[in-house]
Amino acid sequence: MDRQKAPLSTEEVEARVARLPDTLRPIKDAILAVAVSGAWIEGGTGGPLLVGPRPDIAPQAYDIVVFEPLSAEALRSYQELHDFMLPGQLLELFRYLNGCSLFEVKLYGIPPSIAETPPLLDRARRSPLDIASGRYWRAGYGEIDPAHILIGSRNVGDSGQVGYFMGPHGHISGRGNGSMDAPKECGPWANIAEWLSAEAA
């Protein structure tokens, strides 16, 4: 599908990056480093930021995709519709971005259309992977405390995948999917910034 996108100047990219807090420094630094190869906004002013085209993978593939945050009302609606309570650390994060792809790492978010009534997935626009669906995807990874929420993933090798889980106090641990390409466990990291720094490297 051909999605409309508008190119961004260096100054516009810097202005968008400046909105992110220092806790997301790994994302900020990566955007500024990769933006020299091009950056765009998709689908209008509220669309995702696309940085670093990857035509070797697909015409619409990018090194970095950062989704715009949802309103507080949409966040409340999403939690009620899906009976899925977001911990304070994620609610704070979603004030600044609604999930992202950072090279091979996916940080899950909320597809805007499933925060609406009725909650239907809109495949016509690019959206983050649904964080509430992590309740069902978590079974594909190694055992971890049920209180930990699956917040992201990363492909490893041909068939490996690591799932990243956030604990009640914001620390993050990784579990592999049982493939020989994926580690059985990785981490823990104290917070999202530490995790992103390690994994984006």
Per-residue model confidence as pLDDT tens digits over 27-73: 999 999 999 999 999 987 778 999 999 988 888 889 999 999 988 89
pLDDT above 60 for 1? no
Cα 40 to its chain centre, rounded Å, is 18
Q: How much of the chain, in percent, has pLDDT values that exceed 70?
A: 98
Q: Would you state the pLDDT for residue 117?
A: 78
> In the chain, at which residue ranges do the beta strands (DSSP E only) sit?
5-7, 39-42, 49-53, 62-66, 100-102, 105-107, 149-156, 160-166, 172-176, 185-189
pTM score, whole prediction: 0.91
